[in-house]
């Protein structure tokens, strides 16, 4: 996207979009967050190309699929990297008896995995998609579980022959001298249960394909079965489970509060901001520790130090929320309770942690980023160019490590961030090293935010400490209200799409996971590099499989 295009694009407003799409828009289907245009399934590419090239929408944030009684529907949620508040939704209905829609993959590479997921879970076929296979469920699965006619109690019967073990056959290709190598799903460097199929030529990676779905826990189904008010909130903690729970809770809280027009008291916003940033520190510390472990087997120093610091953060969060890992602290319209009594003790404990943090970060710099072996492994490996990152929908530290200046806390403000002093960190190296640097500096910025929040909370008048607004006991947003809202989670843009169907449970609950899209860029980063760099790149993406698979 050249800059002059983007400046003209800024002037395109809703009327401009209407004119741009023209006759191709059958009707309007506006969502709460963005104007929505309904188009025919065979015009997906032409509309998306126009929106990308002429209106500047360079970020395909999410592709939602759902089934109604009379139709299937794919929704393309588009944004721009420069200004994420500029949004547009492209709605593509397809008939129930023949759910075939044109693929958006030639326009946005991020549609590749997103559409595969929609095919897998909902059952929409995307025409001309390069690789229309299941992505989360086993290849042999029968039925599409989020479709309306799916019967969960029907046993899945799979022929033995279909369970061929990939390790048994001779994978050595004598013709071309390449070797097939399975990495995972049980492997210390895959950060969980990721399976990477790699083809090697000597030590060089020729082809790599991440195989996910080993932790697909039906999070969307679970959320669709829960009531808005209380039953959904525990689940976000378990998406990105490396102590980043509160950041995820905020994603759900933000989407649901937008859907039901709930206000959040200012005092609660400050507490939310503080606790979310504590979570971000804990999450980035884990990323740092495991990355050191991956790259040069540092189990004794960095890894243990990072966990020492995480313990301190977890102690503070436990004082606040009552839990070490699965906080369940947010409520719609606020937080569940006020700061622990005595407040002075809590402030002192948090301040102690913040005071010690700069010395600890300096120690990490000495041990890790200043380490020659570490630099040899990380500088100039796993290159992810900014244009490629945008194509794959990368967000968060992964995008900022490629020099893309995007951070929803600043660009699409929520919580109390806009009233605080802090900076968005970017690095231009595009390599593994930059991504680590971004995370380390973000820890310092988070500390800065927490400090300001503590100052505010300390001086907050006692009779104005309102922790929750007045929210009805049973929340029933009006039927057919739809919204897509995102927050900046530890790994990037964590978005939630909710469609209300008039009951107290969501009609469709879709999670846009940052790790899912970051991971899809892995082949671009490692093909042609050495296999140890594959491990380093995987570590620097900082994926959490709970969030990739959901």
Residues forming a β-bridge with 25: 39
Is 415 a binder of other proteins (CB under 8 A)? no
Residues forming a β-bridge with 514: none
CB under 8 A: which stretch of 90-98, 216-224, 516-524, 528-536 binds other proteins? Answer: 216-224
Q: H or E element: which one contains 197?
A: strand 195-201
Is 447 a binder of other proteins (CB under 8 A)? no
- 201 or 318: whose CB is closer to other proteins? 318
Member of 5, 132, 179, 222 binding other proteins (CB under 8 A): 222
204-211 and 330-331 as β-strands: parallel, antiparallel, unpaired?
unpaired
Residue 430's nearest CA partner among 391, 404, 410, 412 is: 404
Sign, Cα dihedral of 102, 105, 106, 110: positive
Give the span between the Cα atoms of 333 and 269, in whole angstroms: 9
Residue 544's nearest CA partner among 501, 520, 513, 505 is: 513
The separation between CA 477 and the C-alpha centre of its own chain, rounded to angstroms, equals 25
- 245 or 334: whose CB is closer to other proteins? 245
Long-range contacts of range 7-15, CB-CB < 8 Å, 24 or more positions apart? 8/56, 9/54, 9/55, 9/56, 9/57, 9/80, 10/56, 10/83, 12/54, 12/55, 12/56
Is 38 a binder of other proteins (CB under 8 A)? no
Member of 31, 191, 400, 435 binding other proteins (CB under 8 A): 191
- 213 or 393: whose CB is closer to other proteins? 213
Is 159 a binder of other proteins (CB under 8 A)? yes
Is 148 a binder of other proteins (CB under 8 A)? no
Member of 171, 304, 375, 503 binding other proteins (CB under 8 A): 304
Are the beta carbons of 548 and 521 closer than 8 angstroms? no
- For the record, the structure tokens of 255 come out as 């989407």
- For the record, the structure tokens of 232 come out as 């959904």
Is 380 a binder of other proteins (CB under 8 A)? no
| Those residues with Cβ within 8 angstroms of residue 298's Cβ, 6 or more apart along the chain or in another chain | 292
| Those residues with Cβ within 8 angstroms of residue 385's Cβ, 6 or more apart along the chain or in another chain | 402, 430
Residue with tokens 């469709």: 508
Write the secondary structure of 414-467 as one string of H (helix), E (strand) and C (coil).
CCCHHHCCCCCCCCCCCCHHHHHHHHHHHHHHHHHHHHHHHHHHHHCCHHHCCC
CA angle 388, 54, 400 (to 5 degrees): 30
Member of 213, 382, 415, 507 binding other proteins (CB under 8 A): 213
- 7 or 140: whose CB is closer to other proteins? 140
CB neighbours (10 Å) of residue 388? 16
- 185 or 403: whose CB is closer to other proteins? 185
- 283 or 425: whose CB is closer to other proteins? 283
The span from the first CA to the last CA of the chain, in angstroms, equals 32
Give the span between the Cα atoms of 400 and 508, in whole angstroms: 31
CA contacts within 13 A on the Cβ side of 472: 10
Nearest approach in angstroms of CB 124 to other proteins is: 18
Q: What is the pattern of x (binds other proteins, CB under 8 A) and - over residues 237-276?
A: -x--xxx---------------------------------
Is 490 a binder of other proteins (CB under 8 A)? no
- 10 or 139: whose CB is closer to other proteins? 139
Is 419 a binder of other proteins (CB under 8 A)? no
Nearest approach in angstroms of CB 201 to other proteins is: 26
Member of 35, 185, 340, 380 binding other proteins (CB under 8 A): 185
Count of chain residues binding other proteins (CB under 8 A):
52
Are the beta carbons of 48 and 108 closer than 8 angstroms? yes
Give the span between the Cα atoms of 523 and 525, in whole angstroms: 5
Is 221 a binder of other proteins (CB under 8 A)? yes
Is 311 a binder of other proteins (CB under 8 A)? yes
Member of 95, 188, 478, 528 binding other proteins (CB under 8 A): 188
Nearest approach in angstroms of CB 543 to other proteins is: 13
SS3 97: coil
CB under 8 A: which stretch of 186-194, 418-426, 435-443, 523-531 binds other proteins? Answer: 186-194
Are the beta carbons of 42 and 96 closer than 8 angstroms? no
Member of 28, 71, 324, 419 binding other proteins (CB under 8 A): 324
- 225 or 503: whose CB is closer to other proteins? 225
Is 172 a binder of other proteins (CB under 8 A)? no
Is 474 a binder of other proteins (CB under 8 A)? no
Member of 71, 230, 308, 419 binding other proteins (CB under 8 A): 308
Is 84 a binder of other proteins (CB under 8 A)? no
Nearest approach in angstroms of CB 138 to other proteins is: 5
Nearest approach in angstroms of CB 143 to other proteins is: 9
Residue with tokens 């000597």: 202
Is 531 a binder of other proteins (CB under 8 A)? no
Residue with tokens 């995370």: 439
Member of 432, 492, 546, 548 binding other proteins (CB under 8 A): 546
Member of 7, 8, 85, 156 binding other proteins (CB under 8 A): 156
What is the binding site for other proteins (CB under 8 A)? 137-138, 141, 145, 150, 152-161, 163, 185-186, 188, 191-193, 213-219, 221-222, 225, 234-235, 238, 241-243, 286, 303-305, 307-308, 310-311, 314, 324-326, 545-546
């Amino acid at each position: 996207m050249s800059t002059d295009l983007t400046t003209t694009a800024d002037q395109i407003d809703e009327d401009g979009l209407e004119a741009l799409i023209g006759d191709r828009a059958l009707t309007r289907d506006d969502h709460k967050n963005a104007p929505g245009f309904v188009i025919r399934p065979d015009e997906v590419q032409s509309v998306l190309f126009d929106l990308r090239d002429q209106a500047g929408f360079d970020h395909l944030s999410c592709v939602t699929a759902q089934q109604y009684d009379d139709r299937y529907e794919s929704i393309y949620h588009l944004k721009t990297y420069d200004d994420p508040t500029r949004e547009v939704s492209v709605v593509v209905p397809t008939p129930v008896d023949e759910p075939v829609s044109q693929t958006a993959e030639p326009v946005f590479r991020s549609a590749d995995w997103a559409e595969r997921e929609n095919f897998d879970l909902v059952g929409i076929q995307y025409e001309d998609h390069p690789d229309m296979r299941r992505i989360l469920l086993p290849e042999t699965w029968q039925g599409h579980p989020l479709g309306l006619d799916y019967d969960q109690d029907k046993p899945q019967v799979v022929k033995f022959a279909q369970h061929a073990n990939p390790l048994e056959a001779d994978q050595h290709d004598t013709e071309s001298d390449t070797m097939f190598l399975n990495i995972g799903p049980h492997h210390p460097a895959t950060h969980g249960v990721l399976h990477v199929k790699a083809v090697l030529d000597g030590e060089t990676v020729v082809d790599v394909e991440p195989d996910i779905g080993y932790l697909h826990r039906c999070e969307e189904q679970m959320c669709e079965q829960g009531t808005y008010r209380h039953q959904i909130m525990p689940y976000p903690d378990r998406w990105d489970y490396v102590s980043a729970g509160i950041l995820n809770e905020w994603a759900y809280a933000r989407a649901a509060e937008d859907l039901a027009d709930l206000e959040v008291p200012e005092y609660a916003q400050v507490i939310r901001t503080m606790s979310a940033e504590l979570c971000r520190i804990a999450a980035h510390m884990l990323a740092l520790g495991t990355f050191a472990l991956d790259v040069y087997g540092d189990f004794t120093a960095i890894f243990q130090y990072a966990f020492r610091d995480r313990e301190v953060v977890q102690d503070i969060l436990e004082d606040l929320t009552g839990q070490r890992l699965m906080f369940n602290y947010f409520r719609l319209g606020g937080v569940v309770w006020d700061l622990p009594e005595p407040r002075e003790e809590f402030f002192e404990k948090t301040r102690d942690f913040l005071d010690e943090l700069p010395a600890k970060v300096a120690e990490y710099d000495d041990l890790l980023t200043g380490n020659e072996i570490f630099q040899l492994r990380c500088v100039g490996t796993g290159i992810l160019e900014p244009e490629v990152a945008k194509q794959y929908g990368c967000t968060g530290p992964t995008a900022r490590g490629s020099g893309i200046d995007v951070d929803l806390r600043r660009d699409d403000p929520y919580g109390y961030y806009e009233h605080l002093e802090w900076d968005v960190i970017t690095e231009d190296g595009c390599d593994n090293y930059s991504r680590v640097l971004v995370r380390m500096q973000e820890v310092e910025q988070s500390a800065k935010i927490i400090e300001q929040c503590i100052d505010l909370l300390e001086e907050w008048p006692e009779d104005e400490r309102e922790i929750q607004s007045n929210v009805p006991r049973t929340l029933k947003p009006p039927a057919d209200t739809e919204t897509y809202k995102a927050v900046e989670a530890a790994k990037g843009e964590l978005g939630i799409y909710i469609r209300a169907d008039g009951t107290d449970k969501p009609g469709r609950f879709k999670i846009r996971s940052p790790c899912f899209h970051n991971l899809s860029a892995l082949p671009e980063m490692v093909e042609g590099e050495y296999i140890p760099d594959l491990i380093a790149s995987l570590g620097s993406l900082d994926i959490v499989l709970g969030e990739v698979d959901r």
